[in-house]
Amino acid sequence: MESPGAEWPCLRYRLLPWAHALFLPTLAMETLNIVVAFCSQKIWPVFPQCAGEENWVDSRTIYVGHKEPPPGAEAYIPQRYPDNRIVSSKYTFWNFIPKNLFEQFRRIANFYFLIIFLVQLIIDTPTSPVTSGLPLFFVITVTAIKQGYEDWLRHKADNAMNQCPVHFIQHGKLVRKQSRKLRVGDIVMVKEDETFPCDLIFLSSNRGDGTCHVTTASLDGESSHKTHYAVQDTKGFHTEEDVDRLHATIECEQPQPDLYKFVGRINVYSDLNDPVVRPLGSENLLLRGATLKNTEKIFGVAIYTGMETKMALNYQSKSQKRSAVEKSMNVFLIVYLCILVSKALVNTVLKYVWQSEPFRDEPWYNQKTESERQRNLFLRAFTDFLAFMVLFNYIIPVSMYVTVEMQKFLGSYFISWDEDMFDEETGEGPLVNTSDLNEELGQVEYIFTDKTGTLTENNMAFKECCIEGQVYVPHVICNGQVLPDSSGIDMIDSSPGVSGREREELFFRALCLCHTVQVKDDDQVDGPRKSPDSGKSCVYISSSPDEVALVEGIQRLGFTYLRLKDNYMEILNRNDDIERFELLEILSFDSVRRRMSVIVRAATGEIYLFCKGADSSIFPRVTEGRVDQIRARVERNAVEGLRTLCVAYKSMAPEEYEGACRLLQAAKVALQDREKKLAEAYEQIERDLILLGATAVEDRLQEKAADTIEALQKAGIKVWVLTGDKMETAAATCYACKLFRRSTQVLELTTKRIEEQSLHDVLFELSKTVLRCSGSLTRDNFSGLSADMQDYGLIIDGVALSLIMKPREDGSSSNYRELFLEICRNCSAVLCCRMAPLQKAQIVKLIKFSKEHPITLAIGDGANDVSMILEAHVGIGVIGKEGRQAARNSDYAIPKFKHLKKMLLVHGHFYYIRISELVQYFFYKNVCFIFPQFLYQFFCGFSQQTLYDTAYLTLYNISFTSLPILLYSLMEQHVGIDVLKRDPSLYRDIAKNALLRWRVFTYWTFLGLFDALVFFFGAYFMFENTVVTSGGQMFGNWTFGTLVFTVMVFTVTLKLALDTHYWTWINHFVIWGSLLFYIVFSLLWGGIIWPFLSYQRMYYVFMHMLSSGPAWLGIILLITVSLLPDVLKKVLCRQLWPTATERTQARNQCLSVEQPTVFMLSQTSSGLSF
């Protein structure tokens, strides 16, 4: 039984404007769902069905021009709908501070430091609250400013869009107002090249046939022109007064995100007669974001506005993205938090065990007051526990998060400054919209890319045609000269004979007639074109860019399509004579048939059927023609990545044509199974054809797109293409960009196949096919380049994906998703065609949350790609021809697809290497820092006495050790840039968060524990034997702590120097400068350089320590012992178990040594001296 909540769409959508007004915009729909759910359960039995819903689950009634229906027609129930505002921002002025603080304190580290700061404020602790409070305040403030600025930019973009002027009809006059004030029911006028301000029902245009042309590049990525049709009874309204007199209501479905689906009807009222009811479909709907082309103006009525438009419903809400490194940091933080609690707990217990004897609990020199003796034991123990927590809390330094934020922010400029990623043609360079995900660029496992405008230039070019085995190429170059257009005949074959000439002209006529191209005349040219030269001023537009390329290509070969007028198609032949053909029928193209046909009548009275389509669709229907020669040419062009079509024809007798007309008419008027009956009629008509030839069109790939995909696959990254384009078009592009190779076995999971077999059978058959080889593909085989295993590619369309995403009919929780994912895992590449924008996001989400949890990246250039860009871990926008919606909503933006190679394989690699070392190093040096403090409590009666001076405690992470690791994390290059570009497989060494795994984390932690033991006990045993200086003075506890601290600062700094591969003067300056700064500061703080500090407890301590010879020897010896295990481990691992990166480093070192030697030998043999 269906849930009652499903019958409440009217309530939900009437409440939507109030929800936006009363609640936070991002919580509006969630609040509504709660309200509707409550109403459904509590008051559903007594609440009547919404008026006008009839049998539809979701519907709305719109009064055109806000006019009430005539009396007696139907009840007038005004409805509230949201206004036309678009909201993409995250914060408002009122909720910024609480919402941003809530998001920031969701981070475990920030929340932890807040608790520590509050504890320091409440109780008496060994350290000052300032040591935790100031760094936390700095981090929170800087992050809030950055996020506030980013959201301010989104507010600015929203305001620019919401304040655009819109023309609408009011009382028969044209009125102008802001887009945000538009309401459902308003009649809007849109002019040529303007963008539709909301979703409109097309009422009329200036064209007599009631059509208009639009481009939907920002919605589905297709820049070709699409034809839409006005309502039959309103297409004659050409003036504002005519439209204002319209009396009609529209009933349609509630907003839903499918761009290609719309169901509704319009009731047009007249004074005398009953209302005329006309069906409305997607061909009558003009979507927000689309642009009007080749039409002077149109009138339309607003039906969906603001956040209810299909474009807005296809946008995902922008959520905070967190990188895998940040998640690892949070996990490590929890581990160290557990260690911290354990340390504090152990010390607290041991303290009270130690003080169980009276003379230890209250010694003679530190007697307690009466109030202290009467305090509750558990309260005292809890206070001591908190004090120990504060004492040891430096094991999790807030300075690490400050350093990470600075590293990300400063490191992001390396992308912006990269001259290799600057495009001279467009004058654009890379943009960084967020710096939080830099290291995620080095962890990508799946790339989801748009096709049109991302992989391709969206620029079709006619390459050649093959007629009866002869190849025709426009602008043939012969002996360095370009032959005339009409002479573009391949010189391999001799000139065709008489019958060949007839077939040649039939082929050219077929391409001039078999299409849906519209002609936009040049305003300066009056009348039909009289010559090919003048014909070139025609501008051809079509829903398919292939058709435009074919018509323009045939024009260069001598036949020019002029126009369609009064149902007659006019073409200009080679003799400059105009030929007229009556257009009788169009058998439209569809992705199942993969072909289209036209039936025309020539001036001589002969009737022809011209058909063009995919070779697999045409060849089985051909009974005559040079099939073998043409098939060979088609296969050769397909291998070269060209898009091929075959052309055929047949002559029809009048009786045969009349039978075809009756068959088509019966199918067209059918109310049930109309598409199925039309398909059967087409199948009967399109048979017994004569093959004429084939064409080849090139969809030009972007420069180096194929090389980029090949490099990404070698890096172990799986590439998926998600496009709204047709399957044939997309598949040809995939072959051209080497996503599919000649050896790839392409599997189809499409609507056509599911109609032939059940979805269950198709999935299990594909699963058996891909798993036939032993086991699944490993990561090393992801690229599909292995010669040992069959390379599979998968093609799936939007309808098939919808069926896969639906739960099974038996209601069981299991579905086909896991089986589909298993098939995809074993395919080297996947092509998803006919995808709506929200389906693209669903695909990304499906892979993102699969059991492996891979890191995903989405790249696109249009507004239709925004959803998947926001859904993926990393979103990249291409700054292309389809606007800047994708670039504005992405994390990074690049001028061309080819720049993705360097962004991932070089920048991403470096970012990950650098920040992973930064994180591990910070935890390591703080284990070295705090573990001696823990050991010291065993020697001071667990009195919470600090081992180090307060200045050393505060400055250790802020000054003494922070700058070297920051510079390392900005400048380190473990291998050269050229090496990373030349050998993409090095990217695999860092895959799956390799440098932040538990094994590596454990090694760094135990290395820190070992070094801490060496520092503390080395100094302890040295002090045990050398308790006085040469002057007879005794060493105290501050000298002991200073010695441990000195060894520690030198060890952790030299450890970083050993890890550095890329040395510059800046590294030398920072590393040695930090050590020098520590020495100078210690002399200053000890009153040596600045005598005014002589009153404090560290007076002359540092100098006393250095005045002892054993102290010098101890420092050198302890540093050497501490560094030795790490050096031995590096040497052994490089010799016995080297990684690919380490082998590359060794090879480059050998080359760098050999090249100077060879150079000197060659110079010496030449008798040159230096």
List 519's β-bridge partners, or say none: 540
Give me 967's structure tokens.
């510079």
Amino acid at 185: G
Q: In what order do the strands lie in the sheet with 297-304?
A: 173-178, 165-170, 187-191, 297-304, 199-205, 285-286
Distance CA 802, CA 260 (A): 14
Question: How many C-beta neighbours within 10 Å does residue 809 have?
Answer: 6
* Listed residue (1093, 1004, 1081, 1089) closest to 1045, CA to CA: 1081
Catalytic one of 186, 199, 450, 797: 450
Q: Please name the residue that has the structure tokens 């929170």.
A: 140
Helix (H) or strand (E) holding 541: strand 539-541
Distance CA 28, CA 95 (A): 14
Distance CA 221, CA 453 (A): 7
Question: How many C-beta neighbours within 10 Å does residue 1008 have?
Answer: 24
* Non-local CB neighbours of 464 within 8 Å, separated by 6+ positions: 471, 472, 473, 474, 637, 695, 696
What's the gap between Cα 774 and its chain centre? 33
Q: Torsion angle of alpha carbons 511, 512, 518, 523, nearest 10°? A: 140
* Listed residue (706, 837, 721, 704) closest to 447, CA to CA: 721
State phi, psi for 642 to the nearest 5 degrees: -85, 150
Q: What is the CA radius of gyration of the chain?
A: 38
Dihedral sign from CA coordinates of 580, 583, 587, 589 = positive
Distance CA 875, CA 887 (A): 9
* Listed residue (1130, 1156, 1128) closest to 1061, CA to CA: 1130
How many residues does the structure list for the chain?
A: 1170
**What percent of the residues of the chain are helix, what percent strand, and what percent coil, each to the nearest 5?**
50, 20, 30
What's the gap between Cα 679 and its chain centre? 38
* Listed residue (665, 678, 661, 680) closest to 607, CA to CA: 661
- The DSSP secondary-structure symbol of 423 reads B
Termini Cα distance of the chain = 94
* Non-local CB neighbours of 186 within 8 Å, separated by 6+ positions: 65, 66, 168, 169, 301, 302
Distance CA 932, CA 1006 (A): 14
Distance CA 122, CA 112 (A): 16
Pairing assessment for the beta strands 745-749 and 792-797 based on DSSP bridges: parallel
Helix axes 1109-1136, 998-1025, angle to 10 degrees: 160
450: annotated active-site residue: yes
Dihedral sign from CA coordinates of 670, 676, 680, 683 = positive
Angle at 823 between CA 821 and CA 827, to 5 degrees: 110
Number of separate helices (H) and strands (E) present in the chain:
41, 36
* Non-local CB neighbours of 868 within 8 Å, separated by 6+ positions: 448, 722, 837, 840, 841, 843, 844, 858, 860, 875
Give me 817's structure tokens.
């998703």
Q: Torsion angle of alpha carbons 28, 29, 30, 34, nearest 10°? A: 100
What's the gap between Cα 824 and its chain centre? 19
Distance CA 699, CA 459 (A): 6
Active site residues: 450
